[in-house]
Amino acid sequence: MVLPIHDINPLRRRPVVTWLLIAVNVVVFVFFEPVVTSVAGADTTTPASVCEQERFFDRWGAVPTEILENRPASKALTGQAVGVDPQGHVLCQQESPPPYTKPPVLSVLTAMFLHGSWLHLLGNMLFLGVFGNNVEDRMGRFLYLIFYLACGYVATYGFALFESDSTTTLIGASGAVAGVLGAYLVVFPRARVIGLVTFLFFLPFWLPAWIVLGFWFLLQYVYFIGMGVAEGGSVAYGAHVVGFVFGALAVLPFVRKLRAAGPARYQPPDQWWVRRMPWP
């Protein structure tokens, strides 16, 4: 696994939309979501906190059966715990009908700004911050925002088609971010990316984008088809695959125009830690 931290790809303008998307995701997570893990990943759960988090995600997240049928569920969680099953799973109280109105189509949008843990949030925002700025720069701010949201919608509905009977709530910006990664790979396959290689004790290396993003996509696909063993069975790898493929195909017809829209020549970065890297 390669953890990207910076790309050598000059910009013409500030990536305002990318910064805004990151800010909204962080604000929603910190100030609105019931979080049951600490920044360091320590488990701070109680049965009540688990049910409160599930209630929140049940209301604002996307559920495959709901969005495919365009019909909200007839029951909703109350946030109250009623016990624990023999396997250790918390049992949460339900009520019918739900005390709120949940349009399934809009739940896809709200789900894009929710995250289940600090690790989930920081991982998505890291990839968005590294790769989203250049995609925004070439597309323009408004078109980039539409593209980002479209990737999220396509990824969510694509996952729902693969898991049409699932009532598990889908949350996270992963599908939309995956679409941005697919677009970046098509437009900037040879861009230099500084990455920390996890299996080499997080040593930094510069690598071409096609290796970093190609390897990332390969991992998602392997986990999606069940050939790999991933940590955390709740990760929606299908949404990652669908979002990435859609993002790549969506920009493919316009790749020459997008490449021509960039800066005329390379501008070296100013960060001291970047200057010390062994660039070719």
d(CA 81, CA 92): 4
Return the higher-pLDDT residue of 49 and 190.
190
Q: Structure tokens of 186?
A: 């098509």
Does residue 156 surpass a pLDDT of 70?
yes
Each residue's pLDDT tens digit, 42-91: 555 778 888 888 889 999 999 999 999 998 888 888 878 887 778 778 88
Residue 190 CB contacts under 8 Å (≥ 6 apart), including other chains: 208, 209, 210
pLDDT of residue 88: 73
**Would the pLDDT of 175 be above 80?**
yes
Residue 235 sits at φ, ψ, to 5 deg, of: -75, 130
Dihedral in degrees, nearest 10, Cα atoms 62, 68, 70, 72: -50
Least confident range from 16-25, 28-37, 89-98, 196-205: namely: 196-205
- Quick one: pLDDT at residue 30? 92
The pLDDT assigned to 233 comes to 44
* Measured distance CA(89)–CA(258) in Å, rounded: 49
d(CA 170, CA 225): 18
What's 77's DSSP letter? E
250: confidence class by pLDDT, cuts 50, 70, 90? very high
Residue 43, strand partner residues: 37
pLDDT at site 278: 44
DSSP result, 92-139: EEEESS-SS---HHHHHHHHTT--SSHHHHHHHHHHHHHHHHHHHHHH
Number of other CB atoms surrounding residue 145 within 10 Å: 17
Q: What does each C-alpha distance from 275 to 196, 210, 242 come to in angstroms?
A: 16, 22, 36
Mean pLDDT of 216-222: 92
Length of the chain: 280
**Average pLDDT score over residue span 211-225:** 91
pLDDT score, position 228 = 41
Q: Where are the alpha helices (DSSP H) in 32-82?
A: 47-60, 64-69
Instruction: Return the pLDDT at 229.
Output: 39
Instruction: Give the domain ranges of the chain.
Output: 2-42+103-275
Q: What is the pLDDT of residues 25-44, one digit of tens each?
A: 999 999 988 866 655 555 55
- Work out the percent of the chain whose per-residue pLDDT is above 70: 85
Task: List b or e across 41-53, with b for residues whose CB sees 16 or more CB atoms inside 10 angstroms.
Answer: eeeeeeeebbbbb
Backbone torsion region of residue 70, taken as left when φ is above 0, otherwise alpha when ψ lies between -120 and 50, otherwise beta:
left
The CATH number fitting domain 2-42+103-275, selected from 1.10.10.60, 3.60.15.30, 3.40.50.360, 1.20.1540.10: 1.20.1540.10
Question: Residue 230: its pLDDT value, please?
Answer: 40
Q: Which helix (H) or strand (E) holds 80?
A: strand 76-84
Give me the amino acid identity at 63.
V
